[in-house]
Amino acid sequence: MKHVWSVLCQKSSIDFENNILSIFGCIEEMNVVIDKDKIVENEKIVIPVEFQLVSYWIAEDSSVSNSLEIKGEFIDSSGLVLSSFENSQQIKPGSARFRHRVNIQGFPVTKEGRYYLKLWQKKLGGKKEFSLVAELPVDVKIAYQLLKKI
């Protein structure tokens, strides 16, 4: 399978009548308000958001069964891997293209800056190592406030 594109979004849907993919709320930047009393500097916190990684792949040979093995890594602005996930799919013969959606819960952050979701694909044959196919940037801006206790 060959990677064509990937995007981070709030949600997506596929119209089953005409097989059209719709992508909603593309994520390029996150503005976060954090209670200053509850944060320890450079400690990882997870922002409670749900989003999707949507990718489009094409089969290099659609006459045979294909396998897609991916790994995603959330990297902070200093290059630290905060979390990762792996996913695999079997694609039936005759499928020339494949749309892949991964639901993700929570966005880990340590500090303000540019974060990346790096997408890796395991290549078939050879050493079966993962190779980088996409780097999706997300700029994280943090506002520290003292939140009132009720």
Beta carbons of 121 and 146 less than 8 angstroms apart: no
d(CA 97, CA 145): 47
Question: Which pLDDT does position 127 carry in this prediction?
Answer: 65
Give the global pTM. Answer: 0.85
Q: For position 126, what pLDDT does the model report?
A: 53
Per-domain residue ranges for the chain? 2-143
Instruction: List, as one string, the DSSP characters of 125-140.
Output: STT--EEEEEEEEEEE
Q: Tell which residue, 105, 100, 106, has the closest CA to residue 119.
A: 100
**Tens digit of pLDDT for each residue in 67-121?**
899 999 999 999 999 999 999 999 999 999 999 999 999 999 988 999 999 999 9
Record the tokens describing residue 144, joined without a space.
Answer: 């520290």
Q: Number of C-alpha atoms within 13 angstroms, CB side, residue 147? A: 11
- Domain at 2-143, CATH homologous superfamily: Immunoglobulins (2.60.40.10)
